[in-house]
Chains A and B, each alone.
Chain A
Amino acid sequence: MKWRFPVLGSFAVLALCLFALPICAQTAAVTAKPVAPHRYDITKEVTLTATVSSVVKTPTREMNLLPGSHLMLATGSGKLDATLGKYAMRNAGVLSITPGQQVRVTGVVTTVRNQQVFVTRLVQVNGQTYKVRNEHGVAVAPVSGKSNRSAYTNGGQL
C-alpha cells in the first residue's frame, strides 16, 4: 500500500514516519514471477545468543522490514534481523524486551527480499521461553485468559 497525502501535509507525513506509525508501511517491488516455496524447515534451525540492539514492534516503510515485530540483534558476526511474526508483541506485556537485553533465539536463517533474516520460532529471555511460531513456522498467538496460569511463558514445557 502507499499513502498519498495533500501537499500541505508533507510535514505531517514526515512526523508520522518519524514516530513510526503503521500508516508509513514499507513499499517494495511486488514479485511477478513464480517463486519456489520457502517453507519453514525445522531441520535447519539454529540457536544463538545475542544482545538486542533495538526492538521494532511495527516496521515503517523506511525500515524495509518484513511485517510484524522484530528484534535487531547484535551478534558476533554482525547485525541480525530476527523477525517475530504477527503476534509476539500484539498485546502489551506479552513479550517485553528492551534494548541491551541478552536473548537466546531459535529459528532459521533465510533470505527474503534480498535480505538475510532470522525467522524466529522461540525467544528465551529472563529465564522464560516464548513460542512465537510453531514447528511449521506458522505464527502462533498466546492464550491469555480463562485461567490464572501464565502458560505462554512457562518455557520449560516448550
Chain B
Amino acid sequence: MKRGTLLVVLVALCILGNAACGGGSIFRPGEKSANFTFYAIGEDAAAPVYCVAGVVAIANNASKDGTFAVTGGVQDYNNGDTITSPQPNGDAITGGNLSVGSNGTAVLTIITKNPAVGVDGTETFVGVFPNNSHALITQFDGSATSSGSLDLQTSTALPSGSFSFTSAGAFSSDGETFAPAAFGGVLTVASGAVTGTVDTNIGGDVNLGTSISGVTFTKPNKFGRGTVNGLTSTHSNLNYYVVGPEVVRFIDVDSATFDTAVGSAYGQGANPNFSSGDLGPAVVFSFSNAFTGYAAAGEFFTFADDDVSKPAKVPVVREGAPACSGTGTCLFEALGDLNELFAATPIQLVDTNFEGSFQLPANGYGTMTFEEGFGDTANFGLYGVDPALNILDPNDKTDTTGGNLIAEMDDSLVGTGTIVPQTDTVVADFSGTYAGGGSGDTNEGDEFDFLTLATVTEPDGGFSGPVALSDPFGAITGAGQETVDASFSGNAEPSGEAGRYSFNPLILSSPDFEGSLDMTVAVYQASASQLFWVETDPDIYFGGSLEQFPGSGGADAKKAKPNNTKWQH
C-alpha cells in the first residue's frame, strides 16, 4: 500500500473507530452531538411492509463504555395496518446508543416512547459506515427486517427549490388487501408552497402526470421534521425529515387508512435545465421492490435516435453511434440481470441484452421504456437529480454524483430504483473495502436483509467479509434469526460486457446455521465507489448496493489487510 493510501485508511479507521483510537468526537467536532436522519423499509411481524423515518441525535464523544449515547430525536413508524406512530408528534426518541467498531460496523439502539415498535419500544439496527457521515442500516431486533440509510443531518431548514422524488410502500385501495405502491415525480418548493407532478403505481393501477398543487410544507422543528399538508388524495398525511439542503426523506403517517410508504427527494440543482444527454454515454441501473418480490440491475449505453438501423446486440454499442443530446428521445442498448421471483409468472434473466429509449426534458420529469426482452419490465418514470448529488450517500459529493431516480409504472410490476453514471469499469478498481447491503426474499415468502463489510482483492476478484443477516421470519434460515456471525466468500469475476461481474457462486455461511448457501449474483460497476448487485436464482433474490470505503481501493488493495473479519461494535 502506498504511504498516502495507508494514511487515508488509518485516518478513516480512527474516525470510525472510537475503540481503536481511544475515543474523541467523531461526527461533528466541536459540538455535543450530531443529528442523523434515517429511514428504512421492510417487513415487520404484522404487515408485509413497514416504513420508518426519523432523526436521531448522537453524542459526539464516547461514553465510558466506548459507545456514543443517543441523546434525543423523533421518528415515525408505519406498517399501514397495526402500528402507526401517533401524530402529530411521532415517537419521541429518549435514549439508546451507537456502538461503532474500528472497521465501521455498528449497532444502533434507539429507545422510543412507543411500546408498539421494536421490542417494547426499543429498536435495534445494525449498520456499516463507509465514512463518518453515512451508514447502511438494517433493523435487527427480531420485530422487523428492513434496509435503509443513516445520514448526517446538515440542515434543519425548510426545503426550498426543485426536487425529484420517489417512494415505495404498500397501499390498500379497497381497505381489504395491501398492494405494492410506487411513486415518482418532480416538485418545487417555494416558501413552503409545493407544486409539481407525480406518477403513481398502486398494485399495477398506473396514473401518470398528476399535478401537485395546494400542498404546503410546514416549517420543520429542531430535528428537521415537518408535515406535508394539503394532499388531496385519501392517502394524504406525510411527514418529512431534512437530511440537507437538497435531500429530504418522506414518510406516510396515515392512521385512518391502510397505507405506508417512505421515500426521498433529491435536489435538481439551483437552475434545473436537464436534457436526455445528461444521462451520459453509460449508466448503471438498479430497481427492486420487496413487496412485489423482484429486483434488477444492469447497465446501458446511450446514443441518439438518428433513424439509423439499430445496432447489433453484440457488441452492445454500435461503433460510431452518435451521442445522445437534447431533450428528445434517445436510445440505449442494455445489459441486465433480473429476478421476478414473485411475479405472476416468475422469471430469472442473467446477462441479458435488451433495448430501450428515454427522454429527459428540462424540468427533469422524464420517461424510460424497456423494449421487450427484460421480463415484464417496460415503463418507468425518470426523474433527474442534481449532477452534484450522490444519491446513495448524499453527504459525499466526491464521486458517483448525479443520476436519476426511477419508478416502475407497469401494471404487473411495482418498484423504484436509481440510475447513476457509469464512469469506471476498470476491473482493478473494484477493490478495497466495501459496505454492502441487500434486501430480498425466498420462495418462503418473507423478507430478509443483510449488511456486509466486504474486502475485494484483485486480480482474482476475491470477495469476503462478515455479514449481518436479518432473517427474523425464516426466509433463509427456516427458523428465523439475526446473526452478525455470517460471512460471504466468493469471487467477483468479470463477465459479459465491461462493468459486469458474476459470482458463481457467492457463498453465505454462518456458524449459526448448518451448511452454506450458494447464490448466483451479478454485480454492475458504476465506479470504483458504487456498484449494484442482484441475485438471480429461481428460489431466492436480493437487490442492493456496494459502497467503497474511501481510500481503501486501487491497485494496491490486494495488499491491504483491513480489520474486517468480524462484525465489531
Interface presence of B172 (CB below 8 A): yes
Out of A16, A58, A86, A119, which one reaches B345, CB within 8 Å?
A119
- From B476, which residue of chain A is reached at the shortest CB distance? A23
Interface residue stretch chosen among B222-230, B241-249, B278-286, B534-542: B534-542
A63→B170 CA distance, assembly (Å) = 31
A88→B425 CA distance, assembly (Å) = 43
B413 CB to closest chain A CB (Å) equals: 8
Q: Given A112-B346, A152-B177, are A144 and B82 also a contact pair (CB < 8 Å)?
A: yes
Bitwise, A13-24 to B at CB < 8 A (1) or not (0) is: 100100001110
8 pairs of A and B residues whose beta carbons are closest in the complex: A136-B204, A67-B443, A145-B82, A34-B373, A137-B344, A25-B539, A38-B345, A22-B444
Q: Is the interface of A mostly helix, strand, loop or mixed?
A: loop
A59→B540 CA distance, assembly (Å) = 12
Query: A58 contacts B177, CB within 8 Å?
Result: no
CB pairs A–B below 8 angstroms (16 shown): A1-B519, A1-B539, A2-B505, A2-B537, A3-B516, A5-B516, A13-B515, A31-B347, A39-B376, A67-B293, A87-B48, A110-B345, A137-B343, A138-B204, A143-B80, A151-B175
Residues of B within 8 A of A151 (CB): 175-176
A73→B344 CA distance, assembly (Å) = 18
State the A residues within 8 Å of B (CB): 1-6, 9, 12-13, 16, 21-23, 25-28, 30-40, 58-59, 61, 66-69, 85-87, 90, 108, 110, 112-113, 119, 131, 133-146, 151-152, 154, 157
Query: A6 contacts B351, CB within 8 Å?
Result: no
Most buried by B among A12, A30, A108, A135: A30
B488 CB to closest chain A CB (Å) equals: 13
Residues of B within 8 A of A110 (CB): 344-345
Interface presence of B208 (CB below 8 A): no
Interface presence of B514 (CB below 8 A): yes
Query: A140 contacts B478, CB within 8 Å?
Result: no
Query: A67 contacts B442, CB within 8 Å?
Result: yes
B64 CB to closest chain A CB (Å) equals: 42
Query: A112 contacts B345, CB within 8 Å?
Result: yes
Query: A9 contacts B177, CB within 8 Å?
Result: no
Interface presence of B265 (CB below 8 A): no
- From B444, which residue of chain A is reached at the shortest CB distance? A22
Query: A30 contacts B348, CB within 8 Å?
Result: yes
Residues of A within 8 A of B535 (CB): 1
A112→B507 CA distance, assembly (Å) = 28
Query: B539 contacts A142, CB within 8 Å?
Result: no
How many residues of B are counted as interface, with CB atoms below 8 angstroms from the partner's CB atoms?
72
Query: A69 contacts B172, CB within 8 Å?
Result: no
Residues of A within 8 A of B538 (CB): 26-28, 30, 113
Chain B 412-468 interface residues, beta-carbon cutoff 8 Å to A: 412, 414, 441-446
Query: B353 contacts A140, CB within 8 Å?
Result: no
Q: Given A34-B354, A144-B81, are A3 and B345 also a contact pair (CB < 8 Å)?
A: no
Query: B412 contacts A137, CB within 8 Å?
Result: yes
A38 CB to closest chain B CB (Å) equals: 4
A155 CB to closest chain B CB (Å) equals: 10
Out of A4, A28, A39, A67, which one reaches B411, CB within 8 Å?
A39
Residues of A within 8 A of B100 (CB): none
A108→B292 CA distance, assembly (Å) = 19
Bitwise, B352-381 to A at CB < 8 A (1) or not (0) is: 111000000000000000001111101000
Q: Given A23-B478, A25-B539, are A140 and B203 also a contact pair (CB < 8 Å)?
A: yes
